[in-house]
Amino acid sequence: MPVIVNNTEITDDQVHLEMQHHPAPTVEDAKQEAARALIIRQLLLEAAANQDIITEEVIQEIDNEKEEIIIETLLDEVINVPTADDETCQRYYDQHTSKFVDKKTGAKLPYSMVQNHIKTYLEDKGHMSAFNAYIDDLMDKAQIVTTL
């Protein structure tokens, strides 16, 4: 059964093609994950059109590589995550010392050794939180009709 996202149809064939990228315990789970991915893709492309990154007409004609570039451009514009400063990284280290232990010796690793790892982790976590909040916002505003 097709999915309609803001008057754009996502066909069964598109969902079935996408299923190969979503391994799941059951076929039905894979189908739902594939449909969700296609819904998110459509919402992101529509948001890119709203930001004048692409036109509505071009959305239907672009290939996967160009889609990824357009979506990446959109996300770079709408998701702003501050960098994790040294104070924030130090606070995280102090609050999670059990995570920073040498597995062979059991000794606590010094902050200087894990600082870059913490910075990357915190920024990635912040980016994922902002991305998920953005997707939730797009989903809340969208008209999605599905019979899956």
CATH number at residue 104: 1.10.4030.10
Reduced to 3 states (helix: H, G, I; strand: E, B; else coil), residue 145 is strand
pTM: 0.84
Nearest-angstrom CA–CA distance, 19 and 28: 10
CA neighbor of 38 nearest in space, from 74, 75, 78, 4: 4
- For residues 25 and 37, is the Cβ–Cβ distance under 8 A? no
| pLDDT tens sequence across 86-136 | 999 999 999 999 999 999 999 999 999 999 999 999 999 999 999 999 999
Nearest-angstrom CA–CA distance, 109 and 97: 9
Element (H, E) at 9: strand 8-10
Residue 108 is classified by DSSP as: B
Residues 6+ apart with CB under 8 A from 55: 49
The pLDDT value given to residue 147: 67
Tally of domains within the chain: 1
| pLDDT tens sequence across 25-77 | 999 999 999 999 999 999 999 999 999 999 888 887 888 899 999 999 999 99
At residue 9, what is the residue type?
E
Q: Which domain holds residue 92?
A: 3-146
Reduced to 3 states (helix: H, G, I; strand: E, B; else coil), residue 24 is coil
How many of the other CB atoms lie within 10 Å of CB of 10? 20
Nearest-angstrom CA–CA distance, 84 and 124: 10
Both tokens assigned to 45? 């492309």
